[in-house]
Structure 1
Amino acid sequence: MKTRVCCLHSAKDIRVETRDVAPPQAGEVRVALGAGGVCGSDLHYYQHGGFGVVRVREPIILGHEAAGFVAEIGAGVTGLKVGDMVALNPSTNCGKCEYCVQGLEMHCTDMIFNGSAMRMPHVQGFYRDQMTVDARQCVPVTGDVAVSEAACSEPLAVCMHAVSLAGDLKGKRVLVTGAGPIGVLCVALAKEAGAAEIVVTDLQKVPLDVASEMGATKVVNVIDDADTMQAYARGKGYFDVAFECTGVASALVSALGALRPRGVIVQVGMAGDTAVPLGILVAKEITHRGTFRFHSEFQDAVDAISTRRIDVRPMITAQMPVENAEEAFELAGDRTRAVKVHLVFNT
């Protein structure tokens, strides 16, 4: 059986090609993909050929945010039937290393992650019409939702893990720096958790508008309005919790300045080496926590999307056929026009 795939050969060289699809073996499922989101890491691969020390060294099928429909089931698979909508979990931990044994599966030392160039050979991703995967990666979507919504399960899981590290948000004043897909999902989760105020900062109008739709009580365009953030930093700050979703030093400095003493900042955005103002961190006794991937939260994310307890529809800017992959990546990289762009398969 043949399938179309969206394959990156090097920076800005993305091609739609044809590959073979292996029939499902015992414990496997063939999935007809419906939608796949363009993530920030996919953009880095496309725009720069990688990020940090991770480089594309051979052709790689990108994509780790995806959902589709069960097309064929291998021997011994239970809990799934042909036609079921499923979200695909891109993370397969080993279950045996010291961190898996401790219940810290997101820190698995032998993690397999679809659409990643960290390993050699690269781990191929989800941008294709058909794919055979381990049945354990298929999480049924039970609600009356679109496949594009289900494809947002992976980034929502990332944000659920981040929010779980922030403590109780009920009645808290929350700041979110950066209104990309991760930022606006943190907004929706903070609203669900009962935050009293949710203020979101960004440089662009389009993502800030989406943040408002997803639950922000106030949005601040820091290019047009620097005074507001300066006001939040007066005294010893205003916010109890911050989710820093950019990885940009200036945003981190602004968030630390706006936090109250003993506030918590969850660092969701990740870039290269970033200067941290330790004086503020120490003097205000701020807790600065990193967050990385997810584990059990993937099932939680699928459940939340299935019931629309978290409505991801406002963040989906465009759905484009895989043959327009280059156009889709260019749109996804333009924050003046887009938040989340999906490639659409099997059309």
Structure 2
Amino acid sequence: MSSTEIDLPTRTLGVVAHAAGDLRVEAIPLRRPESSDAVVEIAYGGICGSDLHYWTHGAAGESILKAPMLLGHEVVGTVVRQATDGSGPPAGTRVAVHPATPGGDSPRYPADRPNLSQGCTYLGSAAQFPHTDGAFTRYAVLPSRMLRPLPDDLSLRTAAVAEPAAVAWHAVARAGEVAGRTALVVGCGPIGALVVSVLRRAGARAITAVDIHDYPLAIAGELGATTTLRADDADAIAAVDADVVIECSGNRYGLESAIRGATRGGRVVLLGLLPTGLQPAPLSLVITRELEVLGSFRFNDEIDAVLGALADGSLVVAPVISHEFAVQDALEAFAVAKDAAASAKVLLAF
């Protein structure tokens, strides 16, 4: 054991969803590391919409909670034990975590887009059974390949938004060239707000942000939105006539706004995860305007570019972090994060 490694406990404090409405902060066993696993002392974890859905509904989209699951995939921390096979960063290294494990034996996805692999697992996801535990825990045993060393001048607290910022970065990349173009962002929760920031960094000429609440619109304004609109102002949204639209609300009304706000020949990127099943939408406008409608799901290696942009200050994220709670107060933190009218990204401090 190196001088920077520590003796590890057999149990560690974690945030576990047992069923809909049943969220607990409890001691859980620390998994025995495989040779390619590192042990990370988690500093911060960001509460994601999927974490909220597992708590409130017992499901996130089609991922149904069938057994207690440790939540959390937006995490950063410090390596306290390097993988015994020598892979990954050494003990003492501050890291962000890429929570995906691409895989499966189906060849039906592009080789350069592992986020689409059918067997892909994600920390804190019930998409597979047994579920993939997350990392809302004081100590997390993680594959060393998930770890991304932080630049020296990037704080752990700022890096805590690297994962959702990578989701936003991927969506903006799906939109194509945005420099000098007009953009519309529908839904300004944490992901939508980060989309605004990424669009600003990418050189969008004008960015219109839409939401039902004033608080997220104010954050979007801080991050670079040139115009903000209430979601019930249908005429104003339709008049935006945006070259690029990124839908982040994940509901049918946001989808309608995104289509109506797009210019003829424009591109609409669907980032917000719509509920499973059929969704009503004005598809006649997709046809008559020859709109390109694309999906955007998670990300691949964009987190590396995000960390660099966070470190050099070109990607602004500070206004997105609205609250911080100790892990012992996770139930209160989740309740605050659920209130979109009064919170943005809520962090747990471990």
TM-score by structure 2 length?
0.92
Aligned residues with identical type, % of pairs: 33
- Per-residue CA shift, 1:66-125, capped at 9, x if unaligned? 100011112232451222110011101128642566222011121121101111111100
Instruction: Find the partner of 2:178 among 169, 172, 182.
Output: 169
Residue 38 (1) aligns with residue 47 (2): yes
CA root-mean-square deviation: 1.7
Partner residue in 2 for 1:125? 134
Give me the whole-angstrom Cα distance separating, in 1, the residues matched to 2:349 and 2:108.
36
Give me the whole-angstrom Cα distance separating, in 2, the residues matched to 1:246 and 1:185.
13
Give me the whole-angstrom Cα distance separating, in 1, the residues matched to 2:109 and 2:256.
34
TM alignment of 1:254-273, pairs within 5 A: 254-272=257-275, 273=278
Contact 1:99 1:105 in 2 (8 A): no
TM alignment of 1:149-298, pairs within 5 A: 149-223=158-232, 226=233, 229-231=234-236, 233-234=238-239, 238-272=241-275, 273-298=278-303
Residue 140 (1) aligns with residue 149 (2): yes
**SS of equivalent to 1:58:** coil
Give me the whole-angstrom Cα distance separating, in 1, the residues matched to 2:162 and 2:99.
11
- Per-residue CA shift, 1:139-171, capped at 9, x if unaligned? 011142332221211111111111111111111
Instruction: Find the partner of 1:303 among 296, 302, 308.
Output: 308
Give me the whole-angstrom Cα distance separating, in 2, the residues matched to 1:278 and 1:79.
48
**SS of equivalent to 1:330:** helix
Output the amino acid matched with 1:202: D
Return 5+ residue gaps in structure 2 as ranges: 1-8
Output the amino acid matched with 1:183: G
Contact 1:70 1:81 in 2 (8 A): yes
CA-CA distance at 1:282 after TM superposition: 0.3
Give me the whole-angstrom Cα distance separating, in 2, the residues matched to 1:159 and 1:99.
25
Alignment size in residue pairs: 339
Output the amino acid matched with 1:244: E
Contact 1:94 1:100 in 2 (8 A): no
Q: CA 1:232–1:119 in 2, change beyond 3 Å: closer, same or farther?
A: closer
- Per-residue CA shift, 1:121-144, capped at 9, x if unaligned? 111001000011110011011142
